[in-house]
């Protein structure tokens, strides 16, 4: 019986590798990927910390879309010239975009219903 090790949840390293090599457009050594993986772990920790602060700042206990927008604004990703919608449209696949940005579909319905 293969014993499954209990370890911290993390993004699949193949996925990180795929995303990273998609953007760098040049060869990357194995060690460099290891560092990228470490950095992404640290990134998640930091982001979760920030989101916690922003959520409790707004007097809530549940992280909402507004908290994420504040975070991305602080990171300089969302600005007045670059709204969140544009980033969603640019970087997320269609099925996720449908969930995040309301679109009108046949039958006079708006998805997702608000």
Partner 1 sequence: MISIRAGMSACGDLTVLLGSLQRLKAAVHYTVGCLCQDVAEDQDVQFSKQTIAAISEITFRQCENFAKDLEMFARHAKRTTVTTEDVKLLARRSSSLLKYITQKSEEITSSHTEQKEKKKKKPIAVKGGRTGKQEAPVTESEDSNMA
CB closer to partner 1 out of 34 and 57: 57
* Among 2, 59, 93, 107, interactor with partner 1 by CB under 8 A: 59
CB closer to partner 1 out of 66 and 103: 66
- Among 9-17, 50-58, 95-103, 106-114, which window interacts with partner 1 (CB under 8 A)? 50-58
Interatomic CA distance for residues 100 and 111, integer angstroms: 9
Q: For residue 108, what are the CA distances in angstroms to 9, 93, 95, 112, 113?
A: 41, 24, 19, 12, 11
Residue 69's contacts (CB-CB under 8 Å, 6 or more residues apart) are 78, 84
CB of 70 to partner 1, least distance (A): 5
CB closer to partner 1 out of 36 and 55: 55
Which tokens in the block code for residue 8?
Answer: 């911290």
* Interacting residues with partner 1 (CB under 8 A): 50, 53-54, 57-59, 66-67, 70, 73-74
């Amino acid at each position: 019986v293969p014993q499954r090790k209990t370890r911290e949840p993390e993004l699949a390293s193949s996925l990180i590798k795929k995303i990273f090599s998609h953007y760098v457009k040049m060869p990357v050594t194995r060690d460099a990927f290891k560092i990228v993986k470490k950095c992404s772990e640290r990134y998640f920790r930091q982001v979760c910390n920030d989101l916690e602060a922003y959520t409790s700042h707004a007097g809530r206990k549940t992280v909402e879309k507004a908290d994420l927008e504040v975070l991305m604004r602080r990171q300089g990703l969302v600005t007045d010239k670059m709204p969140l919608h544009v980033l969603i449209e640019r970087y997320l696949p269609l099925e996720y975009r449908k969930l995040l940005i309301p679109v009108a579909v046949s039958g006079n319905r708006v998805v997702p219903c608000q």
